[in-house]
Amino acid sequence: MNLSLLIVMILASLVTLGRVWVTILFSIVSGWFLAYASIKNRIFENIYVSLIEVFESVPVFSFFPVVLLFFVFDIGGSLGVELAVLFLVFTAVTWNIWMGQYQAFKTVPQDLLEVSENYRLKFWGKLSKVYIPYSIPRIAANLIPSFADAMFYITVSEVFAVGVHTYQVFGIGTIIANLVASGDYLDAIIGVIIIGIFTTIITLLLREFSRYAVDRYGLDTEIVVRKRGRIHFGYTTRLTSALSYVTRLSKVFPTPAILSKSVEEEEEKEHKYLWKISGILVGSLLLALILYGAITTILSVPLSTWKYLISTIPEDLVAIGVDYLRVAVISIVSLAFAIFVGYYLATHERAEKIVIPIIQAYAALPAPAYFPLLFLVTISFVSKIFGLFTNEVYVLFLGFISTFYYVFYSYWMGVKNLPHQYWEIMKNYNLSFWQKMRYVILPGTFPYIIAGLSSTINSAWGGLAIAEYWPNIIQNYNLEVHTGLMKIIDVATANGNITLASWISVFFGIIVIIYSIFFTRKLMDLARKKYIAEEGIYLA
Partner 1 sequence: MGKKITKPTPKIALIHQSIATFPWMTALENVKLGLKYRKLPKEEEDKIARKMLEIVGLSGFENFYPKQLSGGMRQRVAIARALAAEPIVLLMDEPFSHLDELTAEGLRQEIYQMIFSPETNLRAAVLVSHNLNEVVELADRVYVLNGSPATVVDVIKIEMERPRDPRDPQFAKYLDELYKSLTPIRKKLNNEGKL
532 binds partner 1 (CB under 8 A): yes
How many CA atoms does the CB half-sphere of 534 hold within 13 Å?
Answer: 19
Q: Which is nearer to partner 1, 303 or 540 (CB)?
A: 540
**SS3 for 109?**
coil
Tell me the C-alpha distance between 140 and 97, whole Å.
9
For residue 523, what are the contacts with CB-CB under 8 A and spacing of at least 6? 450
Between 272 and 530, CB nearer to partner 1: 530
CA-nearest of 51, 58, 54, 53 to 458 is 58
CB of 426 to partner 1, least distance (A): 9
Closest approach of Cβ 429 to partner 1, in Å?
Answer: 5
Maximum CA extent, the chain: 80
Please state the closest distance from residue 411 (CB atom) to partner 1, in A: 16
Least distance from C-beta 532 to partner 1, angstroms? 6
Contact window for partner 1 (CB under 8 A) among 9-17, 53-61, 320-328, 427-435: 427-435
* Complex with partner 1: residue 440 or 512, whichever CB lies closer: 440
Measured CA to CA in angstroms, residue 193 lies from 11, 20, 198, 359 at distances of 14, 18, 9, 16
Under rule CB under 8 A, residue 427 binds partner 1 = yes
Among 264, 267, 268, 424, binds partner 1 (CB under 8 A): 424
**3 state SS of 237:** coil
- Whole-number minimum distance, CB 500 to partner 1, in Å? 47
Judged by beta carbon, residue 25 or residue 537, the one nearer partner 1 is 537
Residue 535 near partner 1 by CB under 8 A: yes
Q: Tell me the three-class secondary structure of 427-485, residue by residue.
A: HHCCCCHHHHHHHHHHHHCHHHHHHHHHHHHHHHHHHHHHHCEEEEEECCEEEECCCCH
Instruction: Examine residue 539 and tell whether it contacts partner 1 (CB under 8 A).
Output: yes
User: What's the rounded Cα separation, in Å, for the pair 132 and 105?
Assistant: 8
Q: What gap in Å lies between CA 346 and CA 417, rounded to an integer? A: 10
Taking CB under 8 A as the criterion, the residue among 15, 376, 425, 506 binding partner 1 is 425
Which residue, 218 or 443, is less far from partner 1 as judged by CB? Answer: 443
Based on the shown chain and the rule CB under 8 A, indicate whether residue 248 belongs to the binding site for partner 1.
Answer: no
Residue number with CB closer to partner 1 (180 or 418): 418
Amino acid identity of residue 134, one-letter, is Y
Shortest gap between Cβ of 422 and partner 1 (angstroms)? 7
DSSP states of 139-173 as a string? Answer: HHHHHHHHHHHHHHHHHHHSEEEETTEEEE-SSHH
Cβ closest to partner 1, residue 413 vs residue 533: 533
Shortest spacing between CB 526 and partner 1, in angstroms: 10
Site for partner 1 in 428-467 (CB under 8 A): 428-431, 435, 439-440, 443-444, 446
Binding residue count for partner 1, defined by CB under 8 A: 26
Closest contact distance (angstroms) between CB of 440 and partner 1 is 7
- Told to check if 422 binds partner 1 by CB under 8 A, we report yes
Pairing of strands 477-480, 165-168: unpaired
Nearer to partner 1, 419 or 496 (CB): 419
Binding to partner 1 by residue 531, rule CB under 8 A?
A: yes
Beta strands 165-168 and 159-162 are: antiparallel
Distance in Å, CB of 333 to partner 1, minimum? 26
Which CB sits closer to partner 1, 269 or 438?
Answer: 438
Q: How far apart are CA 450 and CA 324, in angstroms?
A: 17
Q: Does 538 bind partner 1 (CB under 8 A)?
A: yes
CA–CA separation, 338 and 362 (whole Å): 15
Shortest separation between residue 427's beta carbon and partner 1, angstroms: 4
β-bridge partners, 100: none
78/435 with CB nearer partner 1: 435
In the complex, the smallest distance separating the C-beta of residue 244 from partner 1, rounded to whole angstroms, is: 15
Rounded to the nearest 10 degrees, the angle between the axes of helix 132-157 and helix 446-467 is 30
CB nearer partner 1, residue 346 or residue 527: 527
d(CA 120, CA 425): 49
Q: What are phi and psi of 483, to 5 degrees?
A: -130, 140
Q: How far apart are CA 320 and CA 327, in angstroms?
A: 10
Asked if 161 and 144 touch (Cβ cutoff 8 Å), the reply is: no
CB of 267 vs partner 1, minimal distance in Å: 42
Q: Which of residues 338-357 bind partner 1 (CB under 8 A)?
A: none
Residue pair 1/190 in contact by the 8 Å Cβ criterion: yes
User: Around 252, how many Cα atoms within 13 Å sit in the side-chain half-sphere?
Assistant: 6
Beta-carbon-side half-sphere exposure of residue 116 (alpha carbons within 13 Å): 17
- Measured from the CB of residue 505, what is the shortest distance to partner 1 in angstroms? 39
Residue 380 burial (10 A CB sphere; 0-12, 13-18, 19+): exposed
Contact between 2 and partner 1 by CB under 8 A: the answer reads no
Distance separating alpha carbons of residues 305 and 308, to the nearest angstrom: 5
The site map against partner 1 for 381-420 (x = CB under 8 A) is: --------------------------------------x-
Nearer to partner 1, 39 or 224 (CB): 224
Question: Of 435 and 472, which CB lies nearer to partner 1 in the complex structure?
Answer: 435
Binding site for partner 1 (CB under 8 A): 419, 421-422, 424-425, 427-431, 435, 439-440, 443-444, 446, 530-533, 535-540
